């Protein structure tokens, strides 16, 4: 099992390797990005690529690690997966959202600092939103799971 720095890194690698997800994103695995990698230029390029190909895919997926936090007498790791589209309302987002949930829920993830998330769970979604600064349809999905540690790094 590969060790990841955090749950966001695990989710990013898992989504980039999941053909049920990559098949629904412009550019495939290259369209699944880590936090800070999304730009207006990248979105414009993806939209032009989609227009030229005639394929009905979302423009980008953005994975953001949200850290580890205490939760009910244990620690919990979580991440947010943002789905970005433009000009196709909410249809593409809904389809990809379900593929993301399927790919990420019910797994374990080996993390740095002698920790493992023993079972990832669906933690809710943000619902359809419009980010006006990017003229972008957007929805996020939260994935989380309890941390099990060998040592007390999280004590």
Q: Which CATH architecture has domain 3-149?
A: 2-Layer Sandwich (3.30)
> Is 4 a residue whose pLDDT tops 90?
yes
Mean pLDDT of 89-109: 94
Rounded CA-CA distance 141/100 in Å is 8
Length of the chain: 155
Question: Rounded to the nearest 5 degrees, what angle is found at the Cα of 6, between the Cα atoms of 112 and 92?
Answer: 155
What is the predicted pLDDT for the residue at 16?
Answer: 98
Domain residue spans of the chain: 3-149
Which pLDDT belongs to residue 153?
A: 55
Global pTM?
0.93
Q: What is the mean pLDDT of residues 93-105?
A: 97
């Amino acid at each position: 099992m590969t060790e990841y720095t955090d749950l966001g890194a695990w989710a990013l690698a898992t989504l980039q390797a999941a053909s049920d997800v990559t098949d629904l994103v412009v550019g495939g695995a290259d369209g699944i990005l880590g936090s800070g990698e999304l730009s207006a230029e990248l979105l414009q390029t993806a939209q032009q690529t989609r227009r030229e190909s005639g394929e009905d895919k979302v423009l980008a997926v953005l994975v953001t690690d949200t850290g580890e936090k205490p939760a009910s007498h244990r620690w919990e790791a979580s991440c947010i997966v943002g789905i970005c589209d433009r000009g196709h309302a909410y249809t593409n987002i809904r389809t990809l959202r379900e593929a993301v949930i399927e790919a990420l829920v019910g797994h374990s993830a080996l993390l740095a600092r002698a920790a493992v998330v023993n079972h990832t769970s669906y933690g809710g979604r943000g619902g359809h939103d419009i980010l006006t600064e990017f003229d972008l349809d957007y929805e996020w999905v939260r994935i989380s799971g309890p941390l099990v540690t060998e040592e007390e790094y999280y004590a």
